[in-house]
Amino acid sequence: MNRFSWFNAVSLTFGFAFLYIPMIILVTYSFNESKLVTVWAGFSTKWYGELFRDQAFLDAAWVTLRVAVFSSTLATILGTMAAYVLIRAGRFTGRTLFSGMIYAPLVMPDVITGLALLLLFIGVGLDRGVLTVVLAHTTFAMCYVSVVVSSRLATFDQSLEEAALDLGCSPAQAFRLVTLPIIAPAVISGWLLAFTLSLDDLVIASFTTGPSATTLPIKIFSAVRLGVSPEINALSTIMIGIVTAGVITASVISKRNMVRQRREEQAAARAQ
């Protein structure tokens, strides 16, 4: 049955045009000669040069990258532990509170999370800087990681773990040799999600950072508040380029795996 009518074609075209035209315009105007972003004055890559000579942007990029690597790694460890507890630990005192604390940050407005964490850091007298931003990002990102990992943990066959234990594995060995390889794709996508969320966050970082650690989104925000600038277009183009390459690679890999799996299944079916 094929119900792909002209109506569907129109709504797909319109929807994707709406999603992509603004980004295409942004990328196009990063190669504009003119300082005025809305007037096309010929092709030029000079704004990329300006960007790489701007020490403030490079410093901010370095801070952002460090924060993102540390917080996403920490969030992946804590989030995987939390997911394991949610799915496998059974009942324990305070379980409801625990799962509430895992899901609540997902719907919490950034302004509230940021304010609350800042007041905590001031309360305990922690100097604001890279460390406080890492702590803040780890806290909300671990919840995303745990949601991603727990959905994978919930669907896989627990008897595999039991078999490993029966065959003489210690619980730690069973986790390392059986569970971890199975949930690995979810753990990796959890890490990527945490990394992206950290790179992207403006509001929580603005609240929890100090003058010594300006992240890239904070820098971008203060620059674009004054209006559109071609340097920011160049920076956006680089970021969009990296993300696009990453997403396309990931989808090609997953497609190849799917094809291979299907081929193996067919081969197995023929062999029987």
Contact window for another protein (CB under 8 A) among 46-54, 154-162, 244-252, 263-271:
244-252
> Residue type for 184, please?
A
33 belongs to the binding site for another protein (CB under 8 A): no
Taking the alpha carbons of 264, 266, 271, 272 in that order, is the dihedral positive or negative? Answer: positive
**Residue 58 vs 258, nearer CB to another protein:** 258
236 belongs to the binding site for another protein (CB under 8 A): yes
**Residue 49 vs 171, nearer CB to another protein:** 171
- Listed residue (209, 174, 173, 160) closest to 60, CA to CA: 209
**Scanning residues 48 to 77, which ones bind another protein (CB under 8 A)?**
none
**Scanning residues 149 to 188, which ones bind another protein (CB under 8 A)?**
171-172
**Scanning residues 108 to 127, which ones bind another protein (CB under 8 A)?**
109-112, 115-117, 119-120, 122-123
Extract long-range pairs of 136-139: CB within 8 Å, 24+ residues apart. 136/204, 136/205, 136/207, 136/208, 137/67, 137/68, 137/71, 137/72, 137/75, 137/194, 137/197, 137/198, 137/201, 137/204, 137/205, 138/70, 138/71, 138/74, 138/75, 138/78, 139/105, 139/113
Task: Identify whether the C-beta of residue 220 lies closer than 8 Å to the C-beta of residue 232.
Answer: yes
- Residue 228: its H or E element: none
210 belongs to the binding site for another protein (CB under 8 A): no
In the complex, what is the shortest distance from the CB of residue 65 to another protein, in angstroms, rounded to a whole number?
14
**Residue 18 vs 272, nearer CB to another protein:** 18
**Residue 69 vs 223, nearer CB to another protein:** 223
Near another protein by CB under 8 A: residue from 2, 55, 96, 272: 2
In the 8-state DSSP scheme, what is residue 127?
P
Near another protein by CB under 8 A: residue from 71, 72, 76, 139: 139
Near another protein by CB under 8 A: residue from 47, 220, 231, 234: 220
- Taking the CA atoms of the chain, what radius of gyration do you get in angstroms? 23
Q: Which residues contact 76 (CB under 8 A, 6 or more apart)?
A: 142, 145, 187, 190, 191, 194
Q: Applying CB under 8 A, what is the total number of residues that bind another protein? A: 84
105 belongs to the binding site for another protein (CB under 8 A): yes
31 belongs to the binding site for another protein (CB under 8 A): no
23 belongs to the binding site for another protein (CB under 8 A): yes
**Residue 58 vs 89, nearer CB to another protein:** 89
What's the residue count for the chain? 272
Near another protein by CB under 8 A: residue from 65, 66, 69, 85: 85
200 belongs to the binding site for another protein (CB under 8 A): yes
